[in-house]
Structures are given as structure tokens and as C-alpha cells.
Structure 1
Amino acid sequence: MWPFKTVKSIKESGMFDGFIDWHSHILPGVDDGIKRMSDSLEVLRFYEDLGIRHVWLTPHIMEDYPNTTAELRARFEELKKEWNGKVELHLAAENMLDTLFEERLEAGDFLPIGEDGRHLLVETSYYTPPIGMDELLDKVKSAGYFPVLAHPERYRYMDEGDYIRLKELGVLFQINFASLVGGYGDTARKKCEWLLSKGMADLTGSDLHRLDATQRMIALKPTKNSVLDNLREVVSNGGKFH
């Protein structure tokens, strides 16, 4: 049993040792995340101190941030040239299920997540699902990818029945660990706890957008022992891909 009651913070618990951050906005200057290269490097040094060994850079691709694959790869190469630490960097994208996504789906133009290149990190509006969401997810699978839904606990329109239906459709779930300490409100926290209790969480990540958020990572404190036991299992597995 992980000794949560004696742990003052998640950092001190050692949870981040060998951790894979599956969702971050650390690639500088491409979306609403980190803006400057110097800040990206500072975040990565902080990650190294925590013991994190792999981070997936998942900038937005959406109508508000119509990043192209070529542009993101070029920026990624710039970051890799500047970074000389132990944290291994990987490039993917967080794809909004919007009209731009449908165009890219038709063109087969994606930055998949995971070493096998068979998974797509996707998101929707927090308030309403896209029209024909299930059919769109079926198209993703028909194109040869497994959809990974980013932070399902944060979608206000989703309830337990929606999560069960999406799981039956073969969708994987990536939760934000900050949700467990109320980082996105009480409703998101309760949904995240429920997903963990049902074994529905497949991946976890920081969804980090700002340099100052690193200090909040240090201060994250455990909530329920049972919830964090479940979270630790997800983290220890390194991610449960098909």
C-alpha cells in the first residue's frame, strides 16, 4: 500500500519517478500553452527533477489553432536542439473534433500519440458534443487509429452512461491528474474518481499550459487513498494501449 497518509505532496510520494506525461502544451509558441523556448526548457528541467522520463508534447490542432504537421515538427526539432536533459521528448497533437479535424482525417494527416503510431488524442468542446460524434469516432477507427479522449472528466455534458458508451466504442481515456485534487472543480474531481474506480482510465497527463503550473504540481496533495491507489496503477502501467 502506498503510504498516502504520511505523504505531504505527490512529489514526495515518488509518483513521478519514471512517469510518462501523455498530455502537455510545452512546445513553445504554437497554441495557448507555453510561449517562450526558455520557459519550455525550465519546465523540462523541473520535470527532470521530479523524475519524469518521457513527455508527449500535444499542441492543439483546431480551428482556433490551425497548426500544420510540418510546422509542429519544425518547432519540435528546434526544442530538441535546445534540450539536453534526460527527459525524452515525443511529438503528437491534441485534435479537436471539428471541421478541420474532418479535413485532416480525409487527408490522413495526423500526429498520432504512442510509439506504435496508432492512436489519436482527441477532444471536444467542454459544453456540447460535436454533431455525429460517434460516427466521427468510427471514422477514426476505420482510418486505422484508436481514439484517445483527452480529459473526459472535464466534459460537462458527459455522464456515466456516456463514458460507458464510449468505452464500448473502443475509446481510451486520458485523465488529468490535477482533476483529482480539484484543479478543474468538484464535478471534474468526482468524475475522475469514478473513472478510476471503474478501471476506465487508460492514460494520465499534466495538460500543463503555463510555467507557473509547475509549482502547483509540487503542491498537489493526495485525497483518498483508494483513488490514488488506482491512479498509481495507471501510472505504473505506463499507459494501457491496445
Structure 2
Amino acid sequence: MFSFLKKKKALKEIMPDAFVDIHSHLLYGLDDGSKSLNDTKKLIENLKSFGFEQFITTPHTTPLVWENTKEGITQQYEKVKSELGFSTAQFRVASEYLMDDSFLKRLENERLLCLKDNYVLVEMSYINPPIQLYEIIMELQSQNYQPILAHPERYNFYKRDYASFKKLKSAGCLFQMNLLSSTGYYGSGITEVADYLLKENMYDFVGSDVHHSKHIDAFSNDLKIKNIDKLEKLIPNNAFFKM
């Protein structure tokens, strides 16, 4: 009767201890994430205060925007890991690959940086999906990669087009939810889509997608989703990536 009087939970309150984050932009100087070693240290310190224990940082590989190479990413990773004094178990590296018209060519020429084994984090443009989307997904699988689509709730061209989400899942994509989507940080429409995908059990993993201090601050925001119980059951799935 008085459920409206219940105190709302903040996102940081439902984060478990020993959480493994599989999506972040903590390597400074590579993309729109951390800008300095001091930024990286502060971001990690704050995330640890929420229960984060291990980090797989995933700088963008985005043609014409962030032209990161596999060699450049791994070189910066080794530098930053040494500067932080972290072990490989605490701090690992992969990449968030943009699936675009050039992605099939990339698959021909290099092995991708994976989160673990063959699990690779991919994203799409926020304007429209690539014309060859399903060809790309098939080619990834033919090369024994398991694609994990980053933040499907944020692609506005799929808003309320739930059939497309189901088609992507049927094609073999796993889904990674951005944790901040549960707080309304990206807008109420994105939170609504995230809530639907949670309700339908379509997510496989979660990630912080932390770039800067504003993202850290948003962990103190109240949860805006209805399916909080589903999110609380989903978060532990990230233990799959624990070292």
C-alpha cells in the first residue's frame, strides 16, 4: 500500500563485491576516455569503492575517429599496467570494435583483441547499423569469435523495434547492458529499452562503459528501471570473465 514511500536504490548499492568489468575506457590517451594517468587512477579508485575488483578495459577501435591498432593498444596497456603496478588478473585489455563497412577487411587481416578466449566486444554507429551487419556477425562466428554487442539499448534506430533485438540474438549475438542505462543517464527512452531487454532476459553481461568522472558520479543516481531484480541477477554473470 505504501510502496511509493520505499527509498529508491542507487546503482552503486546493488553492485556486488569482486565485480569484473568488461567494458571501460580507462587507458589514457587512446580515445574519448581517460586523458591522463591521474584520470585513470581516480576512475579505478572510485570503481573499486563500488565493489569493482578486475577490469578489462576496451578502448575504441573506430576507423577515421580513433585509429587504434592492436599493437598500439597493447603497447599502451603494458605501459599503464606497469605505471599502476597492477597484475594481469587485475587489469586486462581488449577493444570495442566498431562494426562498419571496413570491419570485414579487418577480420581478413588481423586477430582481434578479445575479452576472454574468443569473446569480442563490438558496437555499431548510433546513426544506423552497417549494411552488412548480419554478414559481419556470420563472419565473426565463422572465425570462431563470439560477438558481444555493447549497449544494444543505446541504438535509437532499434527503439521499440523489438523484433530486431530478437533477430540479433537469434543470429548469435550476446548482449552487454551499460549499467548507467538503468539510471536514466542516457535518457528515459534508453532506460525504457533496457528495462524491456531485462524483462525479456535478453542481456548476457553488463559493463560500466566508464569514460570520465561524470559516469562515476552517475553510479550514485537512483535506479529508474522496474526490473531491478533482473539486473541484480544479471550482474553476477560477469564472473565468467574472472581470472
TM-score (normalised: structure 1): 0.89
**Cα separation, partners in 2 of 1:138 and 1:130, compared to 1, 3 Å:** same
Give per-residue Cα distances to partners, 1:79-115, cap 9 Å, x unaligned: 111224698111010000124422220013310112x
* Separation of aligned partners in 2, 1:57 and 1:174: 14
Paired residue for 2:222? 221
Q: Once the two structures are superposed, what CA deviation does each residue of 1:200-225 show, in whole Å capped at 9, x if it has no partner?
A: 111111111113321222x121234x
Pick one of 202, 205, 211 that aligns with 1:203: 205
Matching residue of 2:3: none
The residue aligned with 1:67 is 68
SS at match of 2:72: helix
Cα 1:157–1:151 change in 2 (3 A) is: same
Residue of structure 1 in register with 2:136 after alignment: 136
Q: Deviations over 1:160-205 (max 9, x none)?
A: 0001001111100001111111111111111100111111111111
SS at match of 1:77: helix
Matches of 2:237 and 2:33 in 1, distance apart? Answer: 27
The whole-number CA distance in structure 2 between the counterparts of 1:19 and 1:169 is 29
Q: Choose from 105, 108, 118 the match for 2:107.
A: 105
Q: Contact between 1:203 and 1:240, CA under 8 Å: does it hold in 2? A: no
Q: Which residue of 2 aligns with 1:48?
A: 48
Shift of 1:239: 5.7
Residue identity in the other structure for 1:139? E
- 8 Å Cα contact 2:152/2:177 also seen in 1: yes
Counterpart CA distance in 2 for 1:201 and 1:149 is: 10
Asked if the contact 1:23/1:208 (under 8 Å) is kept, the reply is: yes
Shift of 1:227: 1.2
Q: State percent identity of aligned pairs.
A: 33
The correspondence of residues 1-242 of structure 1 with structure 2, limited to 5 A, is 5-6=6-7, 8-11=9-12, 13-63=13-63, 64-84=65-85, 88-114=90-116, 117-158=117-158, 159-217=161-219, 219-224=220-225, 226-238=226-238
Give the secondary-structure state (helix, strand or coil) at the position aligned to 1:121.
strand
Q: Contact between 1:57 and 1:91, CA under 8 Å: does it hold in 2?
A: yes
Aligned AA for 2:80? L
Q: What is the alpha-carbon distance in structure 2 between the residues aligned to residue 239 and residue 195 of structure 1?
A: 21
| 1:154 counterpart letter in structure 2 | R
Give the direction of change, closer, same or farther, for the CA distance of 1:174–1:8 in structure 2 (3 Å limit): closer
The Cα RMSD (Å) is 1.9
Following superposition, the deviation at residue 16 of structure 1 comes to 3.9
Q: Tell me, yes or no, if the aligned pair for 1:34 and 1:211 is still in contact at 8 Å.
A: no
C-alpha separation between the residues in 2 aligned to 1:155 and 1:120?
19
Q: CA separation in 1, counterparts of 2:111 and 2:153?
A: 28
C-alpha distance in 2, partners of 1:23/1:111? 13
> What secondary structure is seen at the aligned counterpart in 2 of 1:222?
coil
Q: 2 CA distance for matches of 1:212 and 1:205?
A: 16
